[in-house]
Amino acid sequence: MDSSSQDKNLPATAQRLKKARDDGQVARSKDLSNLSVLGGGAVLLMVLLPMGFDQLRTNLQQQLHFDHQALQQPQMVVERLTGVFGQGLMLYLPMGLLMIALAIGVAFASGSWALSTKPITPDLTRLSPLAGFGRLFSRQQLVETVKLTAITAVLGVVAWQFIASHVQPFGTLLLRPLEGALGQLGTWMTVGVGFLLLVVTAVALVDVPLQKFLHGHRLRMSLEEVKREHKESEGDPHMKGKRRQRQREMAQRNSIGAVPKADLVVMNPTHYAVAIRYDDASMSAPRVIAKGADLLALKIRDVAKANKIPVLQAPMLARALYAHAEIDDEIPSALYTAVAQVLAYVYQLKAAMAGRGAMPGDMPTPQVPPELDPHFKKKPAPEVAE
């Protein structure tokens, strides 16, 4: 086999992508998850911080207040601790639930989710040292290493610039009142976290398309894999042919029930039978409503005679219609003339039997193009004498 056919340079098919998602393999950006957690957490903290600060101050005032009754009943200390724990839980629990909902929402919005248990299923092959060594030097790991190095360098530069420009103001915090010092410290922390989120946002904007590219690269397929997948999805051509043949035979058997609606049946004389129906008000061309060969042809003939449907012997036309017209489809345009001839004969015959005209003579031979007859054999061209 040509080695070039094994080069995985073709994009993954839709079936391959679906199988990978079912196995839990999706393009997932860790930096986007970090941005959702850090950014969402920072926003929620800024929104909930005033309320949390007031709640904390109120709790401290209550817990640091002691009276004679509290000293006489030590169990009240336990009750106070329980109350403080409950109040703190009511403050932090909504924040935690909102963070979880935000992280899940970002994962769904970016398409980096997959409902699969395969990633957590025990697999002893993952414990292979050779496989782990290969993953250590893979393209994915190389990209992650370069990315983490770049992030560390950028964050280091930003942090150094921020700290260097605030060294002296940091030292003056001790000289300020506590409330003013805490407010200034909160402002600086907000600015610092803002710079951090800008860096993480820039990295996430690069990492999301990068992870999609790497995911597509991992799932690339060779030409042989594409052919094998197509064969598995479509089935073996030989088996498909057999299934189509069985379906045609079933359709032909089921079509016998439509024979009483036909205008005529053409036969050859026993091997093939085709029932034709034409309604000029609803059809643009005659239709084949039933057909069959051998025993089915005889059955169609018997049903037609039982329902007083004309049965005409037109071997070439019967063979051509059987070979080139499907059930419930219009006849081929090349057979319009031939079918029109037999239909005209049938209409004259029915009119004569109803007393509305003279009895027609012998049925004319339908003009069927020879190439549409499956039994037609083209004569070889005569040899030219040298």
Residue 125's pLDDT is: 60
Residue 2's pLDDT is: 44
Q: Which helix (H) or strand (E) holds 265?
A: strand 264-267
What separation in angstroms does the CA of 251 have from each of 64, 287, 292, 299? 90, 15, 10, 14
Q: Which two tokens stand for residue 377?
A: 């054999």
Question: Which domains, and CATH codes, for the chain?
Answer: 13-230 (no CATH), 256-372 (3.40.1690.10)
- Per-residue confidence at 64, pLDDT binned at 50, 70, 90? low
Average pLDDT for 12-26: 80
Looking up tokens 């920072």 gives 42
**Which H, E and C letters describe 285-347, residue by residue?**
CCEEEEEEECHHHHHHHHHHHHCCCCEEECHHHHHHHHHHCCCCCECCHHHHHHHHHHHHHHH
Q: What is the pLDDT of residues 314-359, one digit of tens each?
A: 999 999 999 898 888 899 999 999 999 999 999 888 888 888 878 8
Q: What is the CA radius of gyration of the chain?
A: 42
Q: Which two tokens stand for residue 313?
A: 């012997």
**Nearest-angstrom CA–CA distance, 158 and 156:** 6
Is the CB of residue 43 less than 8 Å from the CB of residue 230? no
End-to-end CA distance of the chain: 47
Residue 216's pLDDT is: 84
Is the CB of residue 310 less than 8 Å from the CB of residue 349? yes
Average pLDDT for 255-277: 89
Task: With CA atoms as reference, report the closest residue to 373 among 317, 297, 326.
Answer: 317
**Nearest-angstrom CA–CA distance, 176 and 187:** 15
Is the CB of residue 323 less than 8 Å from the CB of residue 372? yes
- Among the ranges 87-91, 127-131, 290-294, which has the highest mean pLDDT value? 290-294
Which residue did the predictor score with more confidence, 284 or 120?
284
Q: Which helix (H) or strand (E) holds 290?
A: strand 287-293
CA 246, 247, 249, 254: dihedral to nearest 10 degrees? 140
- Per-residue confidence at 71, pLDDT binned at 50, 70, 90? low
Looking up tokens 């073996």 gives 236
Average pLDDT for 135-142: 70
pTM above threshold 0.95: no
